[in-house]
Structure formats: structure tokens, C-alpha cells
Amino acid sequence: MIELTTIIDGKALAGEVEAETLERAKKLANKGIVPGLATVLVGENPASQMYIRLKHSACSRAGIRSENVLLPESSTEEEIIAKIEELNLREDINGILLQLPLPEGLNPQRAMMSILPEKDVDGFHPRNMGALLLGAERLVPCTPLGIIYALERLDKKLEGTEVVIVGHSNVVGKPLAAMMLNRNATVQVCHVFTRDLAEHTRDADILVVAAGVPGLIKKEMVQPGAYIFDVGINRVGDKTVGDVDYEEVSQIAGAITPVPGGVGPLTVAMLLRQTLNATEDQTKDQQ
């Protein structure tokens, strides 16, 4: 009997999270508490503008009040930090997100570190990253969290599982490796300097690809039955494609995320969840 590949529907899973978040937000609203998220957008990058719209639209569906702070492309790091510090002081703002990338010449590290750890719903502050490495997860990067959530919903056991991550960014690869280790998986992290990538990817029961290279992962590089999470978002001609050759790999994978419609919606959904987590933590005395 031929087993069909499970298509991991990120939109459907995100819808579940939105519904759960809305119920939590309603309970807070009954106590006079409205979760608030502020996004900070510097410049007019079209892709960033689209992502901001998606996040604010999701907030409106999930009972979260959101506002976007738009700063000109000519802003200095000091001006960005000053605006973030204003948001830090506002009691009606429970989460702050700095939309990346920043305009050329600006280093995002200082600005991101100026966000209060308890309002850092992207999970990038060193204190939150440190807690993650110590196994005390609270606010963590949203894309890895979305992958973990999907695996839990699929009832995929992580303990003892071979996980291979292609890409070692601070946004996906490194935090996801820590989250998998926290769940007792065996983890390999590959990157541009890895020799014979296929030798590693064929080991994977769970393969996560976040390399930014269209079609990098081919059928012969994947263990049959593996769970594949494609984090890549690449424009090829007029199409959006991932880092995995979907047509080939979906023939043998046990489960796979499409691009678009896979990891992306889950990432936004985790932002909503973490905004609620942050709000609940900050308003304990009012509940």
C-alpha cells in the first residue's frame, strides 16, 4: 500500500492558533485588558510593507489591538531606538516588533536589544535567547516555534529523532536547534560551509531548510518518509518557491510544507500567541 504524503497546511494550523488567541484575548477583555502590539517599520520596503499588513490583519482577527510606527528611511539608529524606548514605556503596548531588514547602513542589533525583553515578541533579545539556551523558553523566535507547534499537532515524536537543519541564522537555524535539543532530539546544523550536504540531509527524520537557495533540496537528498519544513521564500520569475524542490520531494516525504502556505502563516500565528503570553505576564496583577 502506498502511503500518501501529508501536506502540512500552515494556513489551517494558523487558523487554529488565531481562534485560540481570540478566546484568550476575550477573557482578558472581560477584565478590561486589551493586548497591544506595535510594529516598527523603517523605510518603504515593499516586502516589509506586505508582511506588516499580514501581521496587522491577523491581529484584528485575534482580538489584538495593533499599530504601526512608520519611520523614514533616513532614520538613524538613535532615532529608531528612541522610538522603541517610547513604546517600552507605554502600558497599552505589550509587544514590540522591529520589522527587518532595516535600510542599508543600519545595524539592527542595537535597536533590537533596546526592546524590553518582556515585550520582545520576536524572541531576539539576548535575555530571551539565553533563556532558550537554558531550556527556559518563554518568548522565542516565531518561525522555530511555529515548526515545533506543527510537529506537536502532527503528533511527531521529537525525543531521539534525527533532526537536520540547513541554515544557521539567528532567526531560524540556531534557535530551532536549541528548541529541538530542549526536546531531546539529535540535531545536526548545516550551512554554506558544510561539505557534502546530502550526506547529512539523508540522515534526517525531520529536515528543516532555511538557506535562501531555490530548489536546493532534491529528492535524492531526502530520506523517504521524512518530515520536511521549507522555510525558504524565493522569487523565481513570477513564482514564489521554497528551498526544497517540492514537486520531487513531495513524492517521497512523509509530510511537507508548501511554499507559500506552510511555515509563513505559522510564523504570524506564533507572533499572536506570544503577544498574548507577553500581555498575560505583564498584567498578572490586574487579572
CA angle 261, 234, 224 (to 5 degrees): 65
99 is catalytic: yes
State pLDDT tens for residues 244-284.
999 999 999 999 999 999 999 999 999 999 999 999 999 98
- Per-residue pLDDT, averaged over 91-111, amounts to 95
CA 263, CA 245: separation in Å to the nearest integer? 16
Element (H, E) at 179: helix 173-182
Cβ neighbours of residue 285 closer than 8 Å, sequence gap 6 or more: none
Q: Are 233 and 171 in contact (CB under 8 A)?
A: no
285 is catalytic: no
- The dihedrals phi and psi of 84, each to the nearest 5 degrees, come to -65, -40
CA 37, CA 142: separation in Å to the nearest integer? 15
CB-facing half-sphere around the CA of 190: CA atoms within 13 A: 22
Report the greatest alpha carbon distance in the chain.
62
Beta-sheet strand order (sheet of 95-98): 65-71, 36-42, 95-98
Report the percent of the chain where pLDDT is more than 90.
95
- Pick the closest to residue 241 from 249, 231, 251, 250 (CA basis): 231
pLDDT at 2 over 60: no
Q: Are 5 and 254 in contact (CB under 8 A)?
A: yes
pTM, whole model, 2 decimals? 0.95
- Catalytic residue, from 55, 83, 119, 174: name it: 55
State pLDDT tens for residues 29-50.
999 999 999 999 999 999 999 9
Instruction: Go through the chain and tell me how many residues it has.
Output: 287
- Catalytic residue, from 99, 223, 274, 282: name it: 99
Q: Are 121 and 278 in contact (CB under 8 A)?
A: yes
- Catalytic residue, from 83, 120, 122, 174: name it: 122
109 is catalytic: no
